[in-house]
C-alpha cells in the first residue's frame, strides 16, 4: 500500500459516501416508523423483524446521531473552504479585495464559537419544548 493511499480527496469521497448511506438509512427508518407501523398510540403488540415500535424509534434516533456526527465530520473536513468563501464574501462586501486572510487559529476559534452557538440554540429549543409539554386532559 502506498503512502498516499488515503489522501484528502479519497477521505472526502468516503465521508460523503458514508453521509449518503446514513441519510438513506435515516429516510428508511423514518418511513418504517411513520408508515409501516400503526400510529404510536396503537402500535402496542406490533413488531417488525422482532422489534417493536419503541425499538424502531431508538434505531431511528441512533441513525440520526450517526448522521449528525458524519455531517460534523464533513463540515470539519471542508472548514477551510467554508471560511474562504465567507472571507471572500466579506472582502467583496467591504470592497477591499486584497485584505489579509484569517489564519488557521482564527478559523478554528470561529468554528468552535459557531458550534457552541448552534448547540446553545438547539439546547434552548429542547428546553422550551420540555417546559411547554403538557398532558392532554381526558
User: Is residue 103 domain-resident?
Assistant: no
Spatial contact of 19 and 64, defined as CB atoms under 8 Å apart: no
User: Is residue 3 domain-resident?
Assistant: no
Tell me the residue range of the domain where 67 lies: 8-77
Query: What's the pTM value of the predicted model, to 2 decimals?
Result: 0.76
Question: What's the confidence (pLDDT) of residue 101?
Answer: 61
User: Is residue 21 domain-resident?
Assistant: yes
Question: What's the confidence (pLDDT) of residue 81?
Answer: 83
Question: What's the confidence (pLDDT) of residue 105?
Answer: 75
User: Is residue 24 domain-resident?
Assistant: yes
Question: What's the confidence (pLDDT) of residue 89?
Answer: 79
- Neighbour-count burial for 9-46, b at 16+ CB within 10 Å, e otherwise: eeeeeebeebbeebeebbeebeebbeeebeeeeebeee
User: Is residue 121 domain-resident?
Assistant: no
User: Is residue 127 domain-resident?
Assistant: no
How many domains does one find in the chain?
1
User: Is residue 125 domain-resident?
Assistant: no
- DSSP codes of every residue in the chain: --TTTT-HHHHHHHHHHHHHHHHHHHHHHHHIIIIISPPGGG-TT-EETTEEHHHHHHHHHHHHHHHHHHHHHHHHHTHHHHHHHHHHHHHHHHT-TTPPPPPHHHHHHHHHHHHHHHHHHHHHHHHHHHHH--PPP-
pLDDT along the chain (138 residues), means of 10: 72 94 97 92 91 95 96 89 79 68 72 88 95 88
Burial class (CB in 10 A: 0-12, 13-18, 19+), 97: exposed
Amino acid at each position: 500500500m502506498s503512502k498516499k493511499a488515503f489522501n484528502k480527496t479519497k477521505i472526502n469521497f468516503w465521508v460523503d459516501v458514508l453521509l449518503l448511506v446514513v441519510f438513506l438509512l435515516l429516510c428508511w427508518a423514518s418511513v418504517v416508523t411513520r408508515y409501516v407501523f400503526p400510529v404510536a398510540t396503537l402500535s402496542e403488540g406490533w413488531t417488525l423483524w422482532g422489534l417493536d415500535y419503541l425499538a424502531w424509534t431508538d434505531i431511528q434516533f441512533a441513525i440520526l446521531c450517526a448522521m449528525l456526527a458524519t455531517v460534523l465530520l464533513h463540515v470539519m473536513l471542508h472548514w477551510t473552504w467554508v471560511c474562504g468563501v465567507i472571507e471572500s464574501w466579506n472582502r467583496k462586501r467591504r470592497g477591499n479585495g486584497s485584505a489579509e486572510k484569517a489564519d488557521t487559529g482564527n478559523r478554528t476559534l470561529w468554528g468552535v464559537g459557531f458550534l457552541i452557538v448552534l448547540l446553545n440554540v438547539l439546547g434552548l429549543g429542547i428546553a422550551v419544548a420540555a417546559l411547554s409539554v403538557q398532558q392532554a386532559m381526558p
